[in-house]
Structure 1
Amino acid sequence: MTRALIVVDVQESFRARPLWETISDPKIAHQVDRLVRLAREAGDLVVWVLHSEPGSGDVFDPALGHVRLMEGLERRNTEPLIHKTSHNSFTTTNLQQILTEHGIHDLIVCGIRTEQCVETTARVASDLGYQVTFVTDATATNPIAHPDSPAHRSIAELLSDPLTLGAEEIIRRTEYALAGRFVTIATVGQLEAAAYRSSGTMTGS
């Protein structure tokens, strides 16, 4: 085992926010589950990461009960579950220790949000020397308001503002920033096809 799947923040906290209705992929859990099944079949390590903000009183406060895996995802007892309080999955956790103990060199990264915790995790992982595959269609994000926009606007106001950066544009820009510098970009389908080809080769040998 030299590869691990890192599932970043695919948690009910996001579905508990009104902004969820703007998410780029409401079926993100299904896409992630496809990667989880691939990883398990290959004998790869699966690491689950949840974002936690104790005492915040919002959806990321564990006391409210939303800091749990999103419906449709199931963790096995042998799979590490870690809680982070930073944007990346390394700084406030023992993730690197876990990966080192398992002899991991290659990472597949997915989760929420594309340009925030998932991208930051991928960048840090690359700087730490891991070979990182960023599975864009197993990530999701929301539109982002312009920095000068008024706070606490409605979703309708957010979406109607021409200065709002749309989710698809955020995803596209994230790929441009990461590809060839920090990560290899892939889709779930591409990884499934590669696994199928590998399995066929092994079967025929």
Structure 2
Amino acid sequence: MSQITYSAKSTALLLVDPYNDFLSEGGKVWPFIKDVAEEVGLLDNLRTINKAVRDAGIQVVIAPHRRWQPGDYECWCHPSPNQRKIMQGHHFAKGEWGGEWHPEFAPQSGDIIALEHWGSSGFANTDLDFQLKQHGITHVVLVGLLANTCIECTARFATELGYHVTLVKDATAAFKHEMMHAAHELNGPTYAHAILTTRELVAALPAA
């Protein structure tokens, strides 16, 4: 892992779903991930990575989930279990505080904000792949939520599209420890090119 390097010109940080509902006290989903998030140091690690990649000149890309609006999923033929949860819980509701960016991880000037994804993949039915290709990106580093849903699905899709994929196992969280284990110890090694800690990632980034 110490030999992995990332070029500022061809690497992007994919920050998945940095909403208040996920990352802030009072968020609708935060209570369900809080124990795991605090155990791995999620927020501090996201802060560290956010600063490090920006200092290194690496492109930051926000891959946001669909912000719930009245009527979403209700007439769909096959809403997924996660979509049903969003429909019932009004997660990331548009126009509400929970659907706003966590203030520390809000997009900055020069960041790319991909179209919102309806399912778990940040690529499916969005412009994420197009945007990355237009910026010459070949390597993607994924952080955000949740480890075993949107992170895993987006990362798998990225691999299928030919990107070099890095997971950062302490810059994400899940509802249960078993889900984190599955994401990083069982499933991740079947598709990801690198599975790092925040410290290992920062050490591999180019100098500011």
**What's the TM-score, normalizing by structure 2?**
0.76
State which of 151, 171, 179 in structure 1 corresponds to 2:180.
Answer: 171
Please give the per-residue CA displacement for 1:28-60, whole angstroms capped at 9, x wherever unaligned. Answer: 233222112121122111001221232247122
Q: Which residue of 1 aligns with 2:93?
A: 61
| Gapped regions of structure 2 (runs ≥ 5) | 1-8, 71-86
Match runs of 1:1-205 below 5 Å: 1-14=9-22, 15=24, 16-17=27-28, 20=31, 22-23=33-34, 24-26=36-38, 28-52=42-66, 53-55=68-70, 56=87, 58-82=90-114, 83-142=116-175, 167-175=176-184, 176-195=186-205, 199=207
Tell me the TM-score normalised to structure 1 length.
0.77
Is the CA contact (8 Å cut-off) linking 2:28 and 2:98 kept in structure 1? Answer: no
Of residues 111-120 and 38-47 in structure 1, the stretch that sits farther from structure 2 once superposed is 38-47
TM-superposed deviation, 1:19: 5.7
Aligned to 1:151: none
The runs of 4+ residues in structure 1 deviating greater than 3 Å are: none
Distance 1:41 1:22, change over 3 A: closer
Output the amino acid matched with 2:178: E
Quote the Cα distance in structure 2 between the aligned partners of 1:182 and 1:22. 23
Partner-residue secondary structure (3-state), 2:18: coil
Greater shift in the superposed pair: 106-115 or 176-185: 176-185
Shifted more, 10-19 versus 44-53: the winner is 10-19
Quote how far apart the aligned CAs of 1:75 are.
Answer: 2.2
Does structure 2 conserve the Cα–Cα contact (< 8 Å) formed by 1:10 and 1:29? no
RMSD: 2.1
Q: 5+ unaligned residues in a row in structure 1: which ranges?
A: 143-166
Give the Å deviation of 1:180.
Answer: 4.6
Contact 1:112 1:140 in 2 (8 A): yes
CA–CA separation in structure 2 for the residues paired with 1:76 and 1:42: 15
Asked if 2 retains the 8 angstrom alpha-carbon contact of 1:29 and 1:70, the reply is no
Pairwise CA distance, 1:193: 2.2
Higher relative contact order (CA 8 A, sep 6+): 2
Tell whether the 8 Å contact from 1:29 to 1:73 is kept in structure 2 after alignment. no
The number of aligned residues is 174
1:183 deviates by 3.5
Q: CA deviation at 1:110?
A: 0.8
> Any idea what the Cα deviations from partners look like across 1:45-81, whole Å, max 9, x if unmatched?
1001221232247122213232222242242121012
Aligned-partner residue type, residue 31 of structure 2: W
Which residue is equivalent to 2:74? none
How many angstroms does 1:181 deviate by? 2.8
